[in-house]
Amino acid sequence: MDTVLSVGIVAAYVAVLTFVAVRARAARRFSEFSLAGRTLPLALVFGSLCATYVGPAFSITFVGKGFQSGFLFLGIGLAYAAQNILVGLLVAPRLRGLKDCHTLGDAIGQKYDRKCQIVAGIISVGLCAGFAAVMAKAGGVVLTDIFGLTSWSSVIVVVGITALYTTFGGLRASVITDAFQFSIFAILLPVTLILVLIFHFDGGAATFAKEASAATAGGLGSTSLIEIIGLVAAFLLGETLIPPYANRALASRTTRISRNGFVLAGVFSVVWFMVMIAIGVTARTIVPEGTNEDHVLLNLVKSTMPAGGYVLLLVVLVSVVMSSLDSLLNAGAVAFTQDIVKPFAKLPDETALNVGRCATIVIAAIAAAGAVKVPSIITGLLICYTIWAPAILPALIIGLWIKRPRPLAGISSMAVGTLVAVILWIILWIIFKFVYPAEIEIAPLVIIPALGAALLAYLVGHWLERNKHGA
């Protein structure tokens, strides 16, 4: 590949992205850094939500899954679409309706107490750093493929650029650059599918149906029922109102925009999953069998597109990874400031803004360091999913819907859900790695019992505190 052409395309794209970020303006107050002044219109809420999820998880990974298991993962992905729509209809408006609320920790603090807010903040920051490490790895994989850099160098470049504009611009810069990157990527990948089908895919609809059937049958044959149930649970609950999504709900101009943004993003995700799976199926006749699932999309584009188009698509892919990454860095920094620091110290607005900016840099550094330990994109995401869902969702959703949430119930649920998920991951990893080596997906064996333990802890805490106070 022509290095000069690659550098030129990358430089041009970075220049355009920088211009977009600068136009977004640097945040001058903490309310702008955290929630963009609660002024986001529907287009930006929808675009930034989509940009956050169409990154590596739902592009690189879903193409790889389509390549390996056909339309099996489409059914699993539909659980995510249903989750977005349900959140939009039932949860996001209630969250947006809370007064002076910047984070999920704020929401939990208002419904329970300050201790619950601090625990929720610690979980939020930890999971944001974990998700960010997965995004950093994904961006590093693509950048390494373009320039042949070492994994470390690629990760540092991706995280460094993202942290730079997120640190100064806050949420507004994040959502505006997200919407810009999403618009380009949402056009380029479907166009890639069309070009592959027209010029490189032999056999037409009959061959596509044959490959899809063979891949899907193979996927069903190699995946147990409990794994499928667990994966559906992970995609249904694992990204439900993670901090970046919650911030979009809170930053929307009205409750109606909050609701419609999530519903539209859920509907769009169905179309996106179908396109990604279709790309994976078409790749079966072009990409060598046995290709690592994280590299199927890259290998397909490399083998079917001219050098310039390949580099452009990969640069845009990196930028969409950055869209997910910037959302996580900002959400983690806001959660640290609002949920961990502010409960202990009354911060002037300028100090809170500076704390948020410093937290962005620290979380970015942690993500870059952790990226090299991520085994694969999908495994990294599933680890985060299976911890987030039991750690936060029972306390959050029940707290938003019942009249008198009990603090003991909330803190018990969050603590037990987190501990059970982490302990199960460690135990099962040791068993299937050393005691009984086997190729098995651990996540489904974690999320269901961890959720059950979190719900049970909530009920016990609610009963104990209710009886203690006699009401």
Q: Residue for token digits 């049958």?
A: 217
pLDDT (tens, 9 = 90+) of the chain, 471 residues, equals 455 655 666 666 666 666 665 555 556 778 777 777 788 889 888 888 887 777 666 787 888 889 999 998 888 889 989 999 999 998 888 888 888 888 899 999 999 999 999 999 999 999 999 999 988 888 887 777 767 778 888 888 888 888 887 887 777 667 777 777 777 777 777 777 677 777 777 777 888 889 899 999 998 888 888 788 888 888 888 778 888 888 888 888 899 999 999 999 999 999 889 988 988 998 888 888 888 887 888 788 778 777 666 776 777 777 777 777 888 898 999 999 999 999 998 888 889 989 999 999 999 999 999 988 887 777 888 888 889 999 999 999 999 888 889 999 999 999 999 999 999 989 988 887 766 665 566 777 788 899 999 999 999 999 998 887 655
Cβ-in-10-Å burial (0-12, 13-18, 19+) of 97 comes to exposed
pTM: 0.82
| Predicted local distance difference test score (pLDDT) of residue 53 | 73
Angle at 324 between CA 170 and CA 34, to 5 degrees: 25
- The answer for residues whose C-beta is within 8 angstroms of residue 250's C-beta and 6 or more apart is 35, 38, 95, 96, 98, 101, 102, 103, 258
Give the per-residue pLDDT at 435.
Answer: 67
Sign, Cα dihedral of 111, 112, 114, 119: negative
| Cα 391 to Cα 348: distance, rounded to the nearest angstrom | 31
Query: In this structure, are residues 218 and 70 in contact, taking their beta carbons and an 8 Å threshold?
Result: yes
pLDDT at 363: 95
The listed CATH number (3.90.1570.10, 1.20.1730.10, 3.40.50.720, 1.20.120.1200) that belongs to domain 3-378: 1.20.1730.10
Residue 252 pairs in a beta bridge with 40
Decide: residue 361, CB within 10 A, 0-12 exposed, 13-18 middle, 19+ buried. Answer: middle
* b/e code 421-437 from CB counts within 10 Å (16+ = b): bbebbeeeeeebeeeee
Six token digits for residue 38: 């609660």
Question: What is residue 1's predicted lDDT score, i.e. its pLDDT?
Answer: 46
